[in-house]
Structure 1
Amino acid sequence: MHFHIHTISSNVYQNKDRTTELDLVQAKEAEKEYNIPYSTHRFGVLYTVTKPELEQHHRVMASMNVSQGNSSKCDFDKSVTSVVFPCLYSLLFLAALVLNLLAAWIFFQIPSTSTFLVYLKNVVAADLLMTFTVLVKVLNDLGVGSWRLRAFYCRYSAVLFYATMYISILLLGLISLDRYLKIVHPLGKSVLQKVGFGQGLSAAVWVVMFSLALPNTVLSNKEPIQSSKLNCMDMKNKAGLEWHEGFNYFCQVLFWCTLVLMVFCYTFISRKVYESIQASHSSSSTRTRQTKAKVFIVVVVFFICFAPFHFVRVPYTLTQTRNANSCWVKYQLYIAKKTALWLCATNICLDPLIYIFLCRMFRRKLTATLRRKPLPLGSAEYRTETSTRLEMSSVVHNKHIATEVERNIND
């Protein structure tokens, strides 16, 4: 907007077709409305503003007021989520800390003699890191500490949380593939089942995910607002917002591809297990149910923990990186995302179920630890026959087939 300055008498008004002269009183009003310093007009300096410019200015101001009104409505009440979820995460942290420290201690004593054990150990490491990020999240949500804690959470802890979460997702997919190869194709041992390959593949998963997550830290380089209401997205520059959105899309593809892989693997695994049960003429419904539970424990944990979050993540991310059309929709997605994210975090407590159900050596070491008794020497042969034994010992007909499937399910 252009302002034409004239020095004239303070009480002079000049009526023109396209202009209106403002006297000193009006200039004071202009100072408030147009943010013009009073020192520029207090000695009879008047401003000439064309009528179209005034009309345009009022339209702009009106639209700004509307947008400000809408944004204020979007400042929805977070008092419930700021109380409920910190409590849930606190319980989760305490349980996960005990379970994962115990799991790490037990796995530390078991040699990595199979790809299955390699993947499980990497899952434990990812879960342990994720557990410590949960503690930072609890402190941040409770408002403990200064704005610096909030900035640390946004720049580092939250990034590590998501990176370790997707590392766990990929490792669960690799475990499913390993089970498929062991059960469905038990006669040939491919390169995918070699310990060295499993270690290299696990290392590649860590490197790739941390490399892709690192820009979310680097590009969160804006000076944080010194307030407890600091929004993590406010710390990202334009490139950071774009990377954040692109990274989320990549993670979506990663999740759904892993889910498809697991469905494929366990479809064939379940068919093989069914054939072995039929061949063994097992009449025990209890043992059959136990077998099915052990076979599908990985799929159940995976779907319960991660599927809900990936249904809501893309819509929620769009409300973060772009203008939301509706504050009500934004609030609903906020609640859905908070709830689904907590379900994701429960994975750090549910993964130990996989160790107990599927890894016989882990189960035996755990039992010995709880009883404070060392394992018998004969049982300490660190063979990697990880469990899900189908318990078909009562069969006579085609017993060899059932036994082989039983052993292979256990890695």
Structure 2
Amino acid sequence: MTTSALFTLSGLISDSNSSTSSLYSASSLPPSSSPFHNSTTDFQNQTVCSAEDEALRWPLAVLYSLFFLFGLVGNLFALWVFLFLHASRNSVRVFLINCAVADLVLLAFLPFRVFYHINGNKWVLGSVACKAVGNLFYMNMYISIALLGLISLDRYLRLKGKGKARRGMRIRLCGRSWPWSWVACGVLWGFSLMAVVPMIATAEDKENNNKCFQYKQRNIAKGKAYFNGVLVLMFWLIFFMMVASYARVAAQLLKVSRDKPDLPNAQRYQRTAKKSFFVLFLFTVCFGPYHAFRPVYILSQLSQTISCDYLHLVDRTNEVMLLFSAFNSCLDPVMYFLLSGSVRKTALRTLGDRLGNRLRSLNDVTFNSSTVDYRRSSAPNLEVNRVSNTPRSSICASNTTLRRTDMTTLPPTRQK
């Protein structure tokens, strides 16, 4: 082999190695070699790292479908009980009605997620509809979180208050006295709608009409990342307020039941204390993991250097944690009936009455039909034995007449 041939071969090998190394760097993008300061590198990273995990597509579609079905039935039944069966007008009932409405609105957006995953993670309604669906979903989730926090605060104030505070606080507004629960719910819905409109109107870093619910960088739209951080802080404030409120309520109820065991409601106080801890447990399981991981997710969105593997891990973990939060919409009806004993009794009594009436009607129909069949099968024999010359149209009347004459007109001498 000549010297020129050797130089030519070495040149080809070096060219192939350089192209292979450049392809590897564009596909893997490790943290040390993939900064987003260059527009070309940024485009490559957005192109390669925007791919979603196909393994989660069908599990997410199935689970969100189940959440939608069970949550819709449970919250509609709870709302029906609150509006048409439950007669009391206390503040807890107002909060629970608003919580059921928030859950129903949240559930109304789950079919969009289901269709998105079934359609191969392809969005067909445009970027504005995507932002509207996503932000309204989160808005109602945080409304239900805030309402559960207000319920815990209301229970604590009722326990510690005296006189009018136990019956319910009122706020004077526009020259009229309003229950504080109505004012709190109105303010909560108003501020939520005012906050969600800028989130929908503000542009993302990269508008993509074919994608939705995917991981998004916040290098330009940093205000959205900061707003999500404020929501996380709000959640933890509500969480610790709920822990403190339910702990004080449970401690007070357990103290009363322990110090005065002869009271008629001593055992009831113990059960109420245990239910308070169960409500707090469900709240922690559903929302705790998501908001514990949320700061990691927000920091990754603001980061200028991130690898594709880390991005996929963050996105996959966030999707799994979000499932727990969406699952709360199915468990909220359980919380409603645990928080309000009168609502629980009304619902159980209504279900029992309706089920009992249904079973009773079925039993009556079965009994009557079997009796009629028995009478139809036995009546001809009786008719033939008693009156053989009576026409068919007057058999029943003749039988009744014969029975009455046998009982009333036979003289006692015929029995001898």
TM-score by length of 1: 0.66
* Percent identity of paired positions between Structure 1 and Structure 2: 27
Provide the C-alpha distance between the structure 2 equivalents of 1:83 and 1:186, rounded to a whole number of angstroms.
54
Provide the C-alpha distance between the structure 2 equivalents of 1:72 and 1:314, rounded to a whole number of angstroms.
25
- Which residue is equivalent to 1:355? 336
Alignment partner for residue 312 of structure 2, among 331, 356, 370? 331
The answer on whether the counterparts of 2:279 and 2:338 sit within 8 Å (CA) in structure 1 is: no
Q: How does 1:5-404 map to 2 (within 5 A)?
A: 74-75=49-50, 78-109=53-84, 110-111=86-87, 113-143=89-119, 147-149=123-125, 151=127, 153-187=129-163, 189=165, 193-194=169-170, 196-220=179-203, 224-228=207-211, 233=216, 238=220, 241-281=221-261, 290-373=271-354
- The worse-fitting range, judged by mean Cα deviation, of 152-161 and 257-266 is 152-161
- Quote how far apart the aligned CAs of 1:338 are: 0.6
- Quote how far apart the aligned CAs of 1:190 are: 7.0
- The amino acid across from 1:106 in the alignment is V
- Residues 1:328 and 1:226: Cα distance change in structure 2 (over 3 Å): closer
- Quote how far apart the aligned CAs of 1:65 are: 7.1
- Quote how far apart the aligned CAs of 1:245 are: 0.9
Q: 3-state SS of the aligned residue for 2:210?
A: coil
- Residues 1:121 and 1:339: Cα distance change in structure 2 (over 3 Å): same
> Per chain length, whose mean CA-contact separation is higher, i.e. which structure has more relative contact order (CA < 8 Å, sep 6+)?
2
Q: 3-state SS of the aligned residue for 1:220?
A: coil
Provide the C-alpha distance between the structure 2 equivalents of 1:271 and 1:203, rounded to a whole number of angstroms.
32
The answer on whether the counterparts of 1:309 and 1:344 sit within 8 Å (CA) in structure 2 is: yes
Write 1 or 2 for the structure with the bigger share of helix: 2
The answer on whether the counterparts of 1:173 and 1:258 sit within 8 Å (CA) in structure 2 is: yes
- Residues 1:324 and 1:96: Cα distance change in structure 2 (over 3 Å): farther
How many residues are paired up? 311
Q: 3-state SS of the aligned residue for 2:124?
A: helix
- The amino acid across from 1:95 in the alignment is F
**Mind listing any 5+ residue stretches in structure 1 that lack a counterpart?**
1-62, 375-411
- Quote how far apart the aligned CAs of 1:148 are: 3.1
The answer on whether the counterparts of 1:224 and 1:230 sit within 8 Å (CA) in structure 2 is: no
- Residues 1:174 and 1:66: Cα distance change in structure 2 (over 3 Å): closer
- Which residue is equivalent to 1:7? none
Q: 3-state SS of the aligned residue for 1:323?
A: coil
- Quote how far apart the aligned CAs of 1:360 are: 2.5
Q: 3-state SS of the aligned residue for 1:312?
A: helix
Provide the C-alpha distance between the structure 2 equivalents of 1:299 and 1:145, rounded to a whole number of angstroms.
35
**RMSD over aligned Cα, in angstroms?**
3.5
- The worse-fitting range, judged by mean Cα deviation, of 108-117 and 297-306 is 108-117
- The amino acid across from 1:307 in the alignment is G
- Residues 1:210 and 1:342: Cα distance change in structure 2 (over 3 Å): same
Structure with higher Rg: it is 2
Provide the C-alpha distance between the structure 2 equivalents of 1:134 and 1:229, rounded to a whole number of angstroms.
13
- Which residue is equivalent to 2:22? none
The answer on whether the counterparts of 1:97 and 1:128 sit within 8 Å (CA) in structure 2 is: yes
- The amino acid across from 1:172 in the alignment is L
- The amino acid across from 1:273 in the alignment is L
- The amino acid across from 2:286 in the alignment is C
- Residues 1:232 and 1:328: Cα distance change in structure 2 (over 3 Å): closer
Q: 3-state SS of the aligned residue for 2:310?
A: helix
- The amino acid across from 1:183 in the alignment is L
The answer on whether the counterparts of 1:151 and 1:232 sit within 8 Å (CA) in structure 2 is: no
- Quote how far apart the aligned CAs of 1:210 are: 1.7
Q: Deviations over 1:336-365 (max 9, x none)?
A: 211111101111111111221121232233
The answer on whether the counterparts of 1:305 and 1:343 sit within 8 Å (CA) in structure 2 is: yes
- The amino acid across from 2:300 in the alignment is T
**Mind listing any 5+ residue stretches in structure 2 that lack a counterpart?**
1-37, 171-177, 356-416
- Residues 1:183 and 1:148: Cα distance change in structure 2 (over 3 Å): same
Provide the C-alpha distance between the structure 2 equivalents of 1:275 and 1:82, rounded to a whole number of angstroms.
51
- Residues 1:186 and 1:229: Cα distance change in structure 2 (over 3 Å): closer
Q: 3-state SS of the aligned residue for 1:122?
A: helix
Provide the C-alpha distance between the structure 2 equivalents of 1:358 and 1:299, rounded to a whole number of angstroms.
11
- Residues 1:313 and 1:146: Cα distance change in structure 2 (over 3 Å): closer
The answer on whether the counterparts of 1:155 and 1:220 sit within 8 Å (CA) in structure 2 is: no
- Quote how far apart the aligned CAs of 1:325 are: 2.1
Q: Deviations over 1:313-342 (max 9, x none)?
A: 122123334434232322222122111111
- Quote how far apart the aligned CAs of 1:102 are: 1.1
- Quote how far apart the aligned CAs of 1:370 are: 2.2
- The amino acid across from 1:161 in the alignment is F
Q: 3-state SS of the aligned residue for 1:148?
A: coil
- Residues 1:248 and 1:73: Cα distance change in structure 2 (over 3 Å): same
Provide the C-alpha distance between the structure 1 equivalents of 2:166 and 2:281, rounded to a whole number of angstroms.
27
- The worse-fitting range, judged by mean Cα deviation, of 324-333 and 123-132 is 324-333
